[in-house]
Structure 1
Amino acid sequence: MKETVILEPLKENDDIEKYKVIYKEVQNEINSLHNSEDIDQMTYDMFLDDVLQMNDENYIKAIRSNLSGPNVFLKRKPSEVRVNGYMYAFVCAVYIVSYISKSQKGMSALILDQAAKEARQGNLDLKHQVRHIGNNFSNSVETSAQEATYLTLQMPLTKATRQVVFINTSPRHKRTFLLKQLSALEKLGPDSTEIAIESDNDIKRYSRRPKQLENWCLADYVSQLELQYPKTSESSDHETEQQENESKSENEEANADVIEENNNKINITLKNGIRIYQRKTPKVIRFVKFNYKTDS
């Protein structure tokens, strides 16, 4: 094309059959252009006069005879006949739209509801109910061969240069929490409080931090420090009990020294064997937003 134009289909009363025959001849000539030695020097007018031997009007009508709807034709030289239409922003938008609207055999609301009912009726705990629904979802969604391979081999689908940790700084009565393991709950009395049945978390561990870390704020404690429990060959119940007893000894003076390595890195070993050390790469903190209401 000599310039970018929008062409519409040719009407039936415009000798459309005649121009469809011409269009096939045009296509044959265009397909053979890459064999031409003079294609780099060829202009649009030279292509019409020397190759097609027709005027601009008939050429345009031949193109229009093969259209089923309005179409954009970009300005192109004969040497660019193999160059696809491109515009950086347009191509990016087309890619995103085609990706989010790709064929997807997802679960219908009816199938998802049925899977939820089956999970509830199967006398399963919450963890296995979620797993049951997840399996039904995975089996009903179209998956590529590559993604299926990763899922089968339990390989991570994504990777990140930073770990993100969430700190729930809402008031205590608005926070969600995990329960302790069943073996630990069975040891509690009938009058146990909500705090007693709550599993350990970052905020509780921060409140019990040793004196060497008393000047550390919550964000730095969670993002920069890591806890390492001593290795044990005993059961996980013992490990749970050990974590519960952490509150009794973590506030005590550390048994070992505060080892200052390169760049004053923290490395503390407590009397119960728990080690607190500084991460090489801090985690990224994500807080929940909330508003305090006061009487003043």
Structure 2
Amino acid sequence: SCGPFEGNGLEDKYIRVEFQFRGSPHIHVFIWLKNAPKYDKNNPKSIEQCIEFIDKLISVNAKSTEFSEELINVQRHKHSHTCKKHVKNGIKCRFDIPYFPMRKTMILEPFSDDEKFTKKEREEISKNRQNVIEELGKISKDTDNSLTFEEFLEHVNINEEEYIKMIRSELKKAKVFLKRAPNEIRINAYNSMIMSLHRANMDIQFILDPYSCLMYCVDYINKSENGMSKLLREALNELKKGNSTVKERLRVIANKFLNSSEISAQEAVYHILSIPLSISSRSTVFINTNRPENRISMLKSDEILQKLEPDSNDVFVEGLIDMYTNIPDEMKNVCLTDFASLYNVSKKKADNAQITEF
């Protein structure tokens, strides 16, 4: 109950260290908490529980008495060339900052396909959005502004219902909007206890759906270095023209990878000291789903090969899929993924016969 997640113990985690530009490491973390509420847009109680959970663990409070102005400024986003992207009407921050001020924390859904707007309504929404964006641009430069949420709405000449409607009209999926005063529109979300211990920038979010979590993993956390994929493809194409062995090909690719990577002093320290760049509370099993003729197999040891009949083709170590095809009849209802993740295979000899146990 005294930890940063106030009684919600850690159930699972995935951590990835990334190095960028200046070379300093920053960490992407997924955590699954025990007894955390699950979002169900059709269940008002679920929505209420999620909002209560978010407000308990996440804050953007710029006037917190716990922290100095200097520490709060660490959380304040400053636009740079890395966050700017070109859009139809100019340049926009790819993190959608400044954020929208909100009277209270809300989880907003996009309008359904059945909810159509008239031309007049669309024009009104577009006008409101332009007014809001212009006002956000003005007040985002003044971190000392004392506007209330209600005064902000008066400045843009719309009521709260029209404001929420304007925000929802741009959404493609459900999104959390934190309670946020107009002077907090550039502050990244933080956890108070982690902030007091870590004393560095963070951005903490409540994940609403598994798909977003998956896409973040694939597109962002596990992204490869710029240009590296192209270099490796070129190396592979060159190797295909020759008669290199698998071992020689692997050596060429490894050298290409190592010699073409630019790393900072901090990243070099991580590698030299064998500090892990990723940590997971769950292990993974690789399943080679290539066609049989494209799968690479490992030769058995010389000792075993010497004992085989001269015309034997049984020269490769049995792989996961080979083991799966030989499972006993009582396991025929076990699928490949369950077999890979839930079963261990052990082989032992008894009375001059080899026994396989699952």
| Both proteins in one fold, TM over 0.5 | no
Query: TM-score with structure 1 length normalisation?
Result: 0.35
Higher-helix-fraction structure: 1
Query: TM-score with structure 2 length normalisation?
Result: 0.30
Higher-strand-fraction structure: 2
Structure with greater contact order relative to length (CA < 8 Å, sep ≥ 6): 2
Structure whose CA Rg is larger: 1
